Amino acid sequence: MTDSAISLRGAVKRFGDITAVDGLDLEVPTGICFGLLGPNGAGKSTTMRLLTAQALADAGEIEVLGHSLPGESKQARMAMGVVPQLDNLDVELTCRQILTVFARLYRVPSAGRPAAVQRALEIANLVPRADTIVRELSGGMRRRLLVARGLIHNPRLVLLDEPTVGLDPQVRQELWSLIDTLRSSGVTVLMSTHYIEEAERLADIVAVMSFGRVIAQGSPAELVLAHAGREVLEVYGPPPELARIDELATERGWSHRRSGPAVAILHAESLNGEARNGESLTDELPSGVTRPANLEDAFVALTGELIE
C-alpha cells in the first residue's frame, strides 16, 4: 500500500454468479478529483460500497486514508464524506436540522456544530433555505444538501456516487461548480459517473471501468490523445454509404466507430495526406467533417460501448 488517499489491490466482489468487481487495482492520489467512468454495470457503485464497507470484498486489499478495510472501516468513515447516488434525506426535517444531526453523528464538538452547519450551508449555497423542510426543496437543492451533509465534518476525502444522475443540465452545472470548489480546497474527491462530459470537465485523472476492471487510466487529455488521436473525421451519408465507409475503415485498419448518423474515423490527423505502406491514402479518404477528438471517442475505442 502507499500514501495515496485510496488504494485497492486485486479487489474482487461477487454477487452469486456475477462478478461486479474483478481484480480491481486502483490508486487515488491525495488532493485531486479522480473520476471512475463507465456505463451502468461497470462496477463503479460496487467499488464505492467496498470503500465504505457497505459491501465486503471477497478478495484483495483495500486501504482508505491509511486505514485497512474492513477492520478499520469505522475510522475511515469518520474521515470521509459520502454522497450517495440515491436521495435518502428525511423529508420532514429542515436543512439545518439534518446537518445538525449529522454533525453530532460525526462527533463534531458541540461548541463547533453551529459553525460547521453554517459552513456546510454556505458551501452548498443553501443559506437562504436553511430552515426549509426537505420536501419543499427542488431536486437540485436536495442534491446539494446531500453534498453538504457529507461535508459537515470537514472530511479529507469525499466519495460522490453518480452525483448528478437524473438532474437537468442547469442543476448539473451547479453541482459541477460545487465539486470544483471541493477540489480547489484540497479535498480528495472520488467521483463515479457515466456522464463523459462530467469526467472530462471535472476529473484530474480518469479511470475507465469495464466489467469490473480498470482498462485505461490517465488525464482526460492523455486518454483522448492515446486512444482517439487529435482529430476525428466524421463521414455522413445514407446507410449504404456508411456501410461502405465502415467496410473500408475495417479493411484499412483505421480505428473507427458509429457516431449517430455518421462513421467517425479516429486518429484522422495521421491519415490525411500521409502514406502508409508506401501508398498514399489521400484519394481514398472519404470527405467529411473534421473535429477535435474527445473523451467519448476514446471511451468507445477502449470499450466498444456507447454510454446511454
| pLDDT tens string 42-73 | 999 999 999 999 999 999 999 999 999 999 99
The pLDDT of residue 69: 96
User: Is residue 194 predicted with pLDDT exceeding 80?
Assistant: yes
Give buried/exposed letters for 254-274 (b at 16+ CB in 10 A, else e). bbbbebeebbbbbbbeebeee
CA 134 to chain centre: 27
Q: Distance (Å, rounded) from C-alpha 160 to C-alpha 19?
A: 22
pTM of the complete model: 0.88
Q: Mean pLDDT across the stretch 255-276? A: 78
- Asked whether residue 279 carries a pLDDT value surpassing 50, the answer given is no
- Which position has the higher pLDDT, 169 or 234? 234
- CA gap 263, 236 in Å, rounded: 7
* Residue 39: predicted pLDDT: 85
| pLDDT value for 175 | 85
Q: Are 70 and 56 in contact (CB under 8 A)?
A: yes
- Mean pLDDT (the chain) is 90
Q: Are strands 33-37 and 188-193 parallel, antiparallel or unpaired?
A: parallel
d(CA 5, CA 105): 23
